[in-house]
Amino acid sequence: MAGSYLPRAVSAPPKKGMAMASLVLGILSLPSCAGAIVGGLTGLILGIVALVKTNRAPNEYGGKGLAIGGIVTSGVSFLLIPVMGIISAIAIPSLLRARTSANDAAALGDLRAFISAEAAYQSASGGVYGTPGCLAKPAGCILNYQGPTFVDEQLASLAPKSGYRRTFIPGPNRGQGLESYAFVLEPALRNQSGIRAFCGDASGVICATADGSAPSVADGACDLGGACQPLR
């Protein structure tokens, strides 16, 4: 029939889904070191399958470059695993040492603050020392006292803090207060949450045990002999 024509067959575009998925998984696996293995392995397999299909049936399957990119990125993510392992082996011990040193310094700072608070309490009370509860609420322990508190509630509670346990050991009682006291701080987990243990008393001297063992206390005073050595 004159003027008639047959429509040209339109071919479907090549399939690229598998190649694209391989590239996406490969990219996502890089920052997570093979994406906990599963992501990197899946990306590698999909990339290889997609590359094989594009070579065998280029008219049906496309995305050869995407498949190659997925294979490369997935493979690199596996190579990063030993590198990250080496970095972790170096960094983690350093971070742990930094944390224990920070806990050690915080415990020593709290002990010095407590000793200073006791000295101020002794001056306000007429010569006796107070329990942690009296330091936090002196009006209930010192007659007609109207001044500020000597320590905060957190320190007075003796609750563990910064990896250290806190123990208050009272000395002899003089009726209105204590003749002496000792304040001991030791790591909750020795060699993990802290290295040294500390003891401070009414003399103002602070001693420390190098191995984190609890310092000895007698009659409300730190035993400065033996393992607990005075700090200079």
Q: Residue ranges of the domains in the chain?
A: 17-92, 103-230
For 96-151, how does the pLDDT look when each residue is reduced to its tens digit (9 = 90+)? Answer: 777 888 999 999 999 999 999 999 999 999 999 999 999 999 999 999 999 999 99
DSSP string, 8-41: PPPPPPPB-HHHHHHHHHHHHHTTTHHHHTHHHH
SS3 assignment, position 175: coil
Residue 50: what residue type?
A: A
For residue 180, the number of C-alpha atoms closer than 13 Å in the C-beta half-sphere is 15
For 24-49, how does the pLDDT look when each residue is reduced to its tens digit (9 = 90+)? Answer: 666 666 655 555 455 666 766 776 77
Torsion sign over Cα 210, 213, 214, 215: negative
8 Å CB contact between 108 and 206: yes
For 143-199, how does the pLDDT look when each residue is reduced to its tens digit (9 = 90+)? Answer: 999 999 999 999 999 999 989 999 999 999 988 899 999 999 999 998 888 999 999
The strand pairing partners of 161, in sequence order, are 164
For 192-225, how does the pLDDT look when each residue is reduced to its tens digit (9 = 90+)? Answer: 889 999 999 999 999 999 999 999 998 889 988 7
Residues in the chain: 232
Whole-number pLDDT of residue 168: 96
SS3 assignment, position 101: helix
- In order of 39, 158, 188, 231, the CA distances from 152 in angstroms are 51, 11, 22, 25
